[in-house]
């Protein structure tokens, strides 16, 4: 049987458990792990909350299978519902299960250990593999197709916005020129191209292709758009004193989460107003007071935690109509 504990180290596990489980301290509590992965966090939530039920969502069928296997090993499968879906199908998942509201929702936006360590999908620039990068292998768009079809401007935009890559345009031009004679099909191909394009004097620490790989992964999987669609869905499904807990690993992800949570923690009135109406009062309570980061010991034990930003809020009053309307309109715009 696969030793899943050996390949999976959940990031900021204790901190996540401390933030999620207070919302689950009652019978029939429901928590949704929107990014199940290998169920490291999910198992800890269920062990800390013996009356809770967990819905685990993942778009990666292999991860879902292994997480289910692990739940069975831990004797928790009777309180676990696995669902193959992208997390922006949050509403549809709950509707399919006949669930109206939940007590907590958790998101770990980093790549799972399975995706990083499994070399066959080309997520990692450290291993030579086909440029796939799909979290859901049933979808059609791959990293290789992005590199083969996108224009110089499109490639420049995703490298700059999703990878914050300083040399986005030279890399994009080099890709388009190269594919005229030879397609970029493997991580080695892309590594070598970036290595020959980025000036040695201006290279960041580590592999110069790191940001390009990150940008391609975000583009292939539509990660930022899915995140911005999902957070409002969670908010509208949350019970009173329910909690949203999110781990981000990329500045754009963290900015999206921060903007969403901050909108609910601030008083929404012009400065100097003598009386603040109820509908303008904050509806979220900031539980982390900014972002929690991994300390030196945690980073040493698990280097993947170096870039993590953990944020959490609690619903402290009903979301006002103007915010609900904004969420609904935001969702319709992105459908």
Tell me the pLDDT tens digit for each residue of 211-221: 999 899 999 98
Distance between CA atoms of 94 and 85, rounded to whole angstroms? 11
Consult the annotation and say whether 87 binds a ligand: yes
**Mean model confidence pLDDT for the chain:** 88
Q: Given this model, what pLDDT does residue 1 score?
A: 41
With bands split at pLDDT 50, 70 and 90, how would you rate the model's confidence at 2?
A: very low
Structure tokens at 213: 């790989």
With bands split at pLDDT 50, 70 and 90, how would you rate the model's confidence at 203?
A: confident
Compute the average pLDDT of residues 128-151.
90
With bands split at pLDDT 50, 70 and 90, how would you rate the model's confidence at 332?
A: very low
Span 278-287, pLDDT tens digits: 667 899 999 9
Q: Given this model, what pLDDT does residue 321 score?
A: 74
Phi, psi of 9 (to 5 degrees): -120, 105
Q: Given this model, what pLDDT does residue 5 score?
A: 52
Q: Given this model, what pLDDT does residue 248 score?
A: 95
Which of the residue ranges 161-170, 179-188, 241-250, 273-282 would you say has the lowest mean pLDDT? 273-282
Residue found under tokens 């292709």: 209
* Cross-strand pairs, 116: none
Q: Given this model, what pLDDT does residue 276 score?
A: 66
Consult the annotation and say whether 40 binds a ligand: yes
Consult the annotation and say whether 318 binds a ligand: no
The DSSP output letter for 317 is S
The Cβ of residue 150 has, within 10 Å, a number of other Cβ atoms equal to: 18
Consult the annotation and say whether 202 binds a ligand: no
Phi, psi of 143 (to 5 degrees): -65, -40
Structural domains of the chain in order of their starting residue, each with its CATH number: 4-114+223-333 (3.40.50.150), 124-221 (1.10.150.170)
Inform me whether the pLDDT recorded for 273 exceeds 80. no
Consult the annotation and say whether 115 binds a ligand: yes
With bands split at pLDDT 50, 70 and 90, how would you rate the model's confidence at 176?
A: very high
Inform me whether the pLDDT recorded for 113 exceeds 60. no
- Select, from the ranges 1-15, 202-216, 250-264, the one with the highest average predicted confidence (pLDDT): 250-264
Span 298-309, pLDDT tens digits: 999 888 889 999
């Amino acid at each position: 049987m696969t030793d899943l504990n050996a390949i999976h180290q959940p990031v900021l596990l204790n901190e996540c458990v401390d933030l999620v489980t207070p919302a689950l301290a009652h019978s029939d509590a429901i928590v949704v792990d929107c990014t199940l992965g290998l169920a490291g966090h999910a198992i800890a939530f269920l062990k800390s909350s013996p009356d809770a039920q967990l819905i685990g969502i993942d778009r990666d069928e292999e991860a879902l299978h292994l997480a289910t296997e692990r739940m069975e090993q831990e004797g928790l499968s009777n309180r676990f519902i696995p669902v193959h879906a992208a997390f922006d199908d949050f509403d549809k998942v709950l509707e399919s299960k006949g669930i109206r509201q939940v007590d907590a929702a958790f998101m770990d936006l980093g790549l799972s250990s399975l995706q990083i360590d499994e070399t066959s999908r080309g997520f990692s620039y450290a291993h030579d593999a086909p440029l796939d990068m799909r979290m859901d292998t049933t979808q059609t768009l791959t990293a290789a197709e992005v590199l083969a079809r996108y224009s110089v401007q499109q490639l420049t935009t995703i490298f700059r916005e999703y990878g914050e890559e300083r040399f986005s345009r030279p890399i994009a031009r080099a890709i388009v020129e190269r594919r005229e004679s030879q397609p970029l099909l493997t991580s080695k191909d892309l590594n070598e191209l970036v290595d020959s394009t980025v000036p040695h004097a201006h290279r960041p620490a580590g592999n110069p292709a790191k940001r390009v790989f990150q940008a391609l992964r975000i583009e292939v999987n539509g990660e930022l758009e899915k995140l911005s669609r999902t957070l409002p869905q969670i908010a509208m499904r949350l019970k009173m004193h329910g909690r949203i807990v999110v781990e981000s690993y990329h500045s754009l992800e963290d900015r999206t989460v921060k903007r969403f949570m901050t909108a609910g923690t601030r008083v929404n009135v012009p400065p100097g107003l003598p009386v603040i109406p109820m509908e303008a009062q904050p509806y979220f309570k900031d539980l982390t007071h900014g972002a929690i980061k991994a300390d030196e010991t945690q980073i040493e034990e698990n280097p993947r935690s170096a870039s993590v930003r953990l944020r959490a809020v609690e619903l402290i009053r009903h979301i006002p109509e103007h915010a609900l309307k904004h969420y609904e309109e935001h969702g319709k715009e992105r459908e």
